[in-house]
Amino acid sequence: MSNTTLGSLFVALGAAGALAGVVVTVLGLAGRRRGWWRDSAMLAGLMMAAAAGAFLVMERALITRDFTVSFVAAHGSSRTPTLFNFATLWSALEGSILLWTLVLCGYVAAVVIKFRGRGGDPMMAWVMLTLFVVCAFFFLLMVGPARPFVAFDPQPLANGQPFDGPGPNPLLQNHILMAFHPPILYLGYVGFTVPFAFAIAALATGRVGEGWLVATRRWTVMAWGFLTLGVMLGAWWSYETLGWGGYWGWDPVENVSLLPWLTGTAFIHSVMVQERRGMLGVWNLSLVVATFSLTILGTFVTRSGVLESVHAFVESGIGPWFLTFFGLIVVVSLGLIAWRGDELRAPGRIDSPLSREGAFLMNNVVFAAFAFVVLLGTIFPLIVEAFDGRTLTVGSPYFERMTMPIGFVLLFLMAVAPVLPWRKTSAGVLSERLIWPAWAGVGVIVLSVLLGARGWAPLLAFGLGGFAGGAALRQIILAVRRQGWRGVVGRTNGGMIVHLGVVLIAVALAASNAYVRQEIFEMTPGETVELSGHTFTFLGTEVVEFANRVERQAAVRIDGEQVYEPAIAVYDFAGRLIGIPSVRSTLTDDVALSITELSDDGQTIFLRVTIQPLIVWLWIGGVVMAAGTMLAIAPGNRRSPTAPVSARLRSASGGGARRSRQLVP
């Protein structure tokens, strides 16, 4: 059986399983099918098997260079290296939808396994119904406008050689991060489907207490952690591959990956208020809906071709499908929230702005403002083009000017919120808990000035970073004193380690943006130039042939020591030159070299030199955040909500919150 036929059968089988799952769970909710959970579990397994089968068939087609599959003919090549040939599957539209569906079915199977003893709970029926609907949408995409398995007749080339495909975009096959960044990002994107499904189930059943939050706590943090790591790897890929000396250019596709991260971060903080005080129920549900909706909107932007981006795929007919699905999600979710409005109204209130819940509420407002600024700058060109046909670009200056003050406020809240008690506090207690973090912030500013740092914005960022880092370290030290090594385990304490990672990233962002130095030098062999205390000697060029490209590499010695080799690559099918930068990283600064122009004989190069301090701490901060996320997922000392407000809420909901406690992992 051909790969095209077998893959199409797997896709059809998965679509049938998803649609059957919708029917089975609806019948279960109507009381007409008592064995709905058993059937749902079997259908979830069928979907997982179908998605995995389709994925493996496509990979087999890519590995064996089966050009009778249209996707392989359009994006595969016998010259593509093995790793990037495997990653070709998610380098283009149809394959990326296939990977998305595989990850989604994996999450559905995990939910079935985790909650296999709750088959009699109507809430789980609504969870499964929501998951089946989302799965059906993606499977139907592969049946309709994004078919991955289309037959193709590969004819010999004009010179009589056998047919060979072009391979993936050159920018997607010259760095190893291409093999890891998209799958990890998808694990984050798709992972938010699970808390969304539980939110819909809570609204549908009226069990809107904190039980559904507890049931999805680790799922949410895990999805957020994957999304965080995916965004960081994307920034690293951009920095290492594009050669422009930066890592975040406020590209539309970069922005749409940031949007669900912002709302997801707000939700992770806000949920603690509902668990402890029974407040912000509407806000939490809205944040979950917004996060999932933004993943769908981001998928639309990435895969419809409506915006130009180095990350986006070509224009396709898939856009209307995603817009329709996005609209359906928003309308249904908001309708359910409005329907349950009375039950979601919290009986409690914030006693004082100087309380942890007050700080978390302010934190949510700031994150929402951040998301709005980014969303507006990203979709505004689409709105303008839709109404009057003008092409408009919103550049980095808008985003940097609007988000910088928001970032300062977030750093301040990161320092203050962890030390605040619930309900209210006194100025004396607050000053006692903040004195050492404040001195840490002052010390960082003084040290920065002594090291030569100038400018109010970076110095303020360094000071607030020291303030926030000091507050996080204070909490960690106190927890370790009380609990030993378990003081770094659990949501709260792991969250403090995440805060430390955020501080490292904030400081690195401020330093690298404020003190970047960049120049382009015209150089001939033997010539030496100097920039920002570093020397660069051009030694010459050589031509190196690879299976998929030919590179002309320039040898450049930095500071009289190690030689680095930025290059210009020529891919036969691309019809253009692709720059391959070379980067020297140290704990103090990064030196990035890229060739902007090269003479025909290779004797003259135009070398762009970019020097940025503390760049490596961006990646170290990302690793610290990932470690903190894993510690936050690990079981800690869980405390149930004990405040009277929360108790009254559970009582007012008719015991619904207590029933939803059955879902606690």
> Cα–Cα distance between 427 and 323 in angstroms, integer?
50
What local confidence, expressed as pLDDT, does residue 488 receive? 78
pLDDT score recorded for residue 335: 92
Q: How far apart are CA 332 and CA 337, in angstroms?
A: 9
Alpha carbon distance 431, 176 (integer Å): 49
In three-state form (DSSP H/G/I as H, E/B as E, the rest C), the secondary structure along 345-401 is: CCCCCCCCCCCHHHHHHHHHHHHHHHHHHHHHHHHHHHHHHHHHCCCCCCCHHHHHH
Dihedral, 225, 227, 228, 234 alpha carbons, nearest 10: 140
Report the range of poorest mean pLDDT among 58-62, 202-206, 312-316: 312-316
Average pLDDT over residues 143-167: 85
Residue 345 pLDDT:
73
Hey, what amino acid is at 404?
M
pLDDT of residue 313: 44
Alpha-carbon span 143 to 18, nearest angstrom? 13
643 beta partners: none
Q: Give the C-alpha separation, 525 to 114, whole Å.
A: 64
Q: How many whole angstroms separate alpha carbon 539 and alpha carbon 358?
A: 61
Residue range 211-234: mean pLDDT, rounded: 90
Higher model confidence: residue 81 or residue 46? 46
Q: Distance (Å, rounded) from C-alpha 420 to C-alpha 433?
A: 8
555 DSSP β-pair partners: 540
Backbone angles phi, psi at 563, to 5 degrees: -100, 135
Q: Is the pLDDT of residue 644 over 50?
A: no
Name the pLDDT band for 479 (thresholds 50, 70, 90): confident
**152 exposed, middle or buried (CB, 10 Å; 0-12, 13-18, 19+)?**
middle
Task: Out of 96-100, 126-130, 252-256, 379-383, pick the least confident.
Answer: 379-383
Nearest to 558 by CA among 578, 525, 528: 528
pLDDT in tens, 340-393: 877 777 666 776 777 888 888 888 899 999 999 999 888 887 777 667 766 677
Specify the DSSP element, H or E, that contains 23: helix 3-29
Task: Report angle CA 199, 15, 332 to the nearest 5 degrees.
Answer: 30
Q: Alpha-carbon dihedral of residues 608, 613, 619, 623, nearest 10 degrees? A: 170
Higher pLDDT, 134 or 481: 134
Q: Could you tell me what percentage of the chain is helix, strand and coil, using 3-state DSSP and rounding each to the nearest 5?
A: 65, 10, 25
Give burial (CB, 10 Å; 0-12/13-18/19+) of 530: exposed
| 180 C-beta neighbours (distance < 10 Å), count | 14
**Average pLDDT value for the chain:** 85
Residue 397: is its pLDDT beyond 50? yes
Mean pLDDT, to the nearest integer, of 332-336? 92
b vs e for 233-247, b when ≥16 Cβ sit within 10 Å of the residue's Cβ? Answer: bbbbbbbbbbbbbbb
Least confident of 73-77, 296-300, 385-389, 428-432: 385-389
Position 643 scores a pLDDT of 40
How far is Cα 491 from Cα 636, in angstroms, rounded to an integer? 7
DSSP conformation letters of 303-321: HH--S--SS-----TTHHH
Burial of 49 (0-12, 13-18, 19+ CB in 10 A): middle
Examine the pLDDT at 75 and tell me if it is beyond 70: yes
Q: What is the pLDDT of residue 576?
A: 67
Q: What pLDDT score was predicted for residue 120? A: 73
Cα of first residue to Cα of last residue in the chain, in angstroms, is: 44
91-96 contact pairs (CB < 8 A, 24+): 91/168, 91/169, 91/172, 91/173, 91/178, 92/168, 92/313, 93/146, 93/303, 93/313, 93/314, 93/316, 93/318, 94/142, 94/146, 94/147, 94/148, 95/58, 95/71, 95/148, 96/182, 96/303, 96/313
Backbone angles phi, psi at 443, to 5 degrees: -60, -40
Look-up of token digits 């108790």? 647
Q: Are the C-beta atoms of residues 564 and 593 closer than 8 Å to each other?
A: yes
Q: Looking at this protein, which amino acid is placed at residue 107? A: Y
Separation CA 642–CA 232 (nearest Å): 38
Residue 558, beta-bridge partner list: 536
pLDDT band (50, 70, 90) for residue 10 = very high
pLDDT attached to residue 219: 92
pLDDT band at residue 662 using 50, 70 and 90 as cut-offs: very low
Report domain extents, the chain.
3-153+170-344+358-375, 517-613
Check if the beta carbon of residue 499 is closer than 8 Å to that of residue 486: no
Q: Which whole number is the average pLDDT over 258-271?
A: 92
Among 404-418, 437-451, 627-641, which stretch is predicted with the lowest mean pLDDT? 627-641
Calpha distance 287→620 (Å, rounded): 29
